[in-house]
Structure 1
Amino acid sequence: MKAVVLERPGGLDRLRTVEREDPGAPGPGEIRVRLHASSLNFHDYLVVTGKLPIAENRIPLSDGAGIVEAVGDGVSEFATGDRVVSCFFPLWQDGGPVAGDFAQVPGDGIDGYAREAVRAPASWFTRAPAGWSFVEAATLPTAGLTAWRALVVEGRLKAGDTVLVLGTGGVSIYALQIAKAMGARVIATSSSKAKIERVLALGAERAIDYRREPRWAEEVLRWTGGRGVDHVVEVGGPGTLGQSIRACRVGGRIALIGVLTGIEGSVRTALLMQRQIRLQGIVVGSRSHQVDLVRAVEATGLRPIVDRTFPLAEIADAFRYQEAGRHFGKICLEI
């Protein structure tokens, strides 16, 4: 079985394609999955560039989509030939969060999906959305589920709400699509004229060039008549959080799902308190959340935006493309 491993110390030049032992037939409660696609996330980038400590020769990538080749005794949810997609937190099946680290996350604490096949408990997967390609399905477990949990599970999004999304990466574009599918209005930010045109084409009511308007919260307030937005999908972290607080309405919600501008910084606590804003950290979601998301995208007809697809052997080039920040939506790998 071919697999990609990351030698230590990390770095894109430390990714190697190797031969690994075949995972074999599934045991009781397990399935064997032939993997066909994965997608790149910022967490994966932190892993492969050595910014997160991992074991020697770890197989990276937290997302995997493929087809069930065999099922073990006791497995009733899946059958041979079913299309499935992995779960970011394999042990978080339902209820509230159960982990505060990445010890059981594929591609970090355990081996991920940059390989041809895997044998794992059936509960580590859900079915893939009907009619989606393997590449499309591979965008769901991290980016899609993060946006879904931020807006729907925790945010209780409803028709008529206004959502602010920052940038045009995988989570932000998924958030835009989910918000529009549920009848919400969307404001998006970008520094690219071409990307601004694309978010408007996807249905965003307003798009702001944050380089031309660095105090973009003022424009958000003007556009909302001084009220502010109901939801902010905050991917930047300390470099953008201050503007997000200003842009959020009294009693609104900010889902902190990214740290693209750093891991530490000041927070305008007085304004956060004064405006009674709920600020919540979000790290993906549970298997139960993913099952609900699969049903939702099937019901609404939502399809993910895939910017570019690379073969697995070109995984380093795919990460370099991500590093350059030129993508709109998701970058994927075909296996």
Structure 2
Amino acid sequence: MVTQTPAWVLNDQQGIESLQLADNPVSTPKDDEVLVKVHAASLNYRDIVIAKGEPQLPFFTPGVTPCSDGSGTVTAVGSKVKSFKAGDRVCTHLVSGLSSSSAPTFTDINSGLGQHLDGTLRKHAIFHESALVPMPPSLSFLEACTLTCSGLTAWNALFGLDGLVPGEGTTVLVQGTGGVSIAALQFAIAAGSTVIATTSTEAKAERLRSLGAHHVINYRTSRDWGDVAKSLTHGRGVDIVVDVGGLSTLPQSFKAVRTNGLIAVTGLLGHAEDQAAVPTILECLINACTARGILLGTRDQFHAMNRFIEDKGIKPVVDEEVFDFLEAKEAYRYLEQQKHFSKVCIQLE
């Protein structure tokens, strides 16, 4: 039985330099807990925000191990654990204690892995049984560690609303080349949709095309990219917009979406250049569309996503720069500087 494990900890919120390497104790799993040997972890912008103590996520538990996303192998289980056994390969779910069909709230997320509960930047980890799901058998640990937040959010954005899901004859608009957008592109392509993607460089545009994007718009040279996206549908508008920017992208998302279409609001990454142009809820009335906020997804949705990944042979995209465990700070900086394409991952084993 492992009694200590190397772990990164966050003792304060003064930025990336607040991350410190430590040896943390590892206890025997309680009745409803699972001990996991963590093989890989991936970063989200949330992790940077927590490290900096920015207004969106100002509170944390001092000494917490950061990061919510990871994959690994079960090495021991508590006496009441029914879903897992030693040797199982698993992914983390950010929140624990919820039923399999319960949708996480902001409160759940703010009390979840990497903020108030110890996360995945440690070589051995104890998790509540409900914070784990079996990983898709065909994936590597690096590929699987991308699913916790980005993959599940993208899945919920596309398939979480009955009656409006991607498929043949539908058009999906994704924004940029972050983890949610790339996962959404892959899922939509696999479902048979036409995908329109936006980006800022030709190099990234080529990578988007190589992943199957049918149309790519450079949002730096086409400032009204929402109108351009709509024109690519012969004026009808796109069926689903996966919006990751929030204030900076929603005005164009409303221009792109069709009547009775869906804008899945998944992120708050952008800032409004013109506060007067920030849409209000009335834009849904004016454009006769639905705007739906997305906060991760349920464990049931996680299972459904994993089955789809297996059925369609999807391989989640990992950035070409993979960091070692001791390079965690460098991985954070790489993400902060927006050098990445899709997911920034850390190899633990």
TM-score by length of 1: 0.95
Q: Does 1:94 align with 2:106?
A: no
Give CA-to-partner distance per residue, 1:250-297, whole Å, 9 cap, x none: 110001111111399521544431221111110111111111111110
Given that 2:104 and 2:296 are in contact with CA atoms closer than 8 Å, whether structure 1 keeps it comes out as no
Q: Is the 8 A contact 1:149 1:285 kept in 2?
A: yes
C-alpha distance in structure 1 between counterparts of 2:38 and 2:64, whole Å:
17
Can you list the C-alpha shifts for 1:223-261, whole angstroms capped at 9, x where unaligned? 111111000000011111000001000110001111111
- Structure 2 Cα separation of the partners of residues 143 and 92 of structure 1: 19
Contact 1:40–1:330 (CA under 8 A) maintained in structure 2: yes
Shift of 1:158: 2.7
Could you say what secondary structure the match of 1:20 adopts?
strand
Q: Of 9, 13, 19, which aligns to 2:13?
A: 9
Secondary structure of the 1:64 match is strand
Kindly indicate whether residue 180 of structure 2 is the aligned counterpart of residue 171 of structure 1: yes
The secondary structure found in structure 1 opposite 2:249 is helix
Q: Paired residue for 1:35?
A: 38
Cα deviation per residue 1:122-175 (whole Å; 9 max; x = unaligned)? 222111110211111110110000000000122533322100000000000000
Q: Is the deviation greater in 73-82 or in 274-283?
A: 73-82
Write the letter of the residue equivalent to 2:18. Answer: R
Cα distance between partner residues in 1 of 2:144 and 2:113: 16
CA–CA distance in structure 2, aligned partners of residues 334 and 92 of structure 1 = 29
Distance in 1 between residues matched to 2:96 and 2:282, nearest whole Å: 38
> Matches of 1:263 and 1:274 in 2, distance apart?
21
Q: Does 1:200 align with 2:213?
A: no
Distance 1:272 1:103 in 2: 28
Query: Is the Cα contact below 8 Å between 1:91 and 1:104 reproduced in 2?
Result: no
Q: Find the counterpart in structure 1 of residue 134 from structure 2.
A: 127
Q: 1:146 aligns with which of 137, 150, 153?
A: 153
Offset, 1:96: 4.5
Counterparts of 1:60 and 1:200 in 2: how far apart (Å)? Answer: 34
1:284 aligns with 2:296: yes
Do 2:166 and 2:192's aligned partners in 1 also have CA atoms closer than 8 Å? no
Query: What's the secondary structure of 2:192's corresponding residue?
Result: coil
Instruction: Supply the RMSD in Å over aligned alpha carbons.
Output: 1.6
1:73 match: 79
Aligned residue for 1:123, secondary structure, equals: helix
Aligned mates of 1:121, 1:331 — CA distance in 2 = 25
Partner of 1:82: 88
Secondary structure of 2:332's counterpart equals helix
Which residue, out of 230, 237, 240, partners 1:228? 237
Picking from 67, 72, 78, the partner of 1:61 is 67
Which residue number in structure 2 is paired with residue 318 of structure 1? Answer: 331
Q: Distance in 1 between matches of 2:281 and 2:128?
A: 44
Instruction: Calculate the TM-score normalised by the size of structure 2.
Output: 0.92
Whether contact under 8 Å (1:90, 1:104) holds in the other structure is no
Letter in 2 for 1:210: Y
- TM-aligned CA deviation for residue 75 of structure 1: 2.4
Task: Find the aligned partners of 2:130 and 2:268 in 1 and give their Cα distance.
Answer: 30
Distance 1:133 1:96 in 2: 28
Alpha carbons of structure 1 residues 74 and 270: separation in structure 2 relative to 1, 3 Å: closer
Gaps of 5+ in 2: none
Amino acid at match of 2:286: Q
Code of the aligned partner of 2:142? V
The Cα shift of 1:74 comes to 2.8
Contact 2:68 2:119 in 1 (8 A): yes
Q: Residues of 2 paired with 1:208 and 1:50: CA distance? A: 34
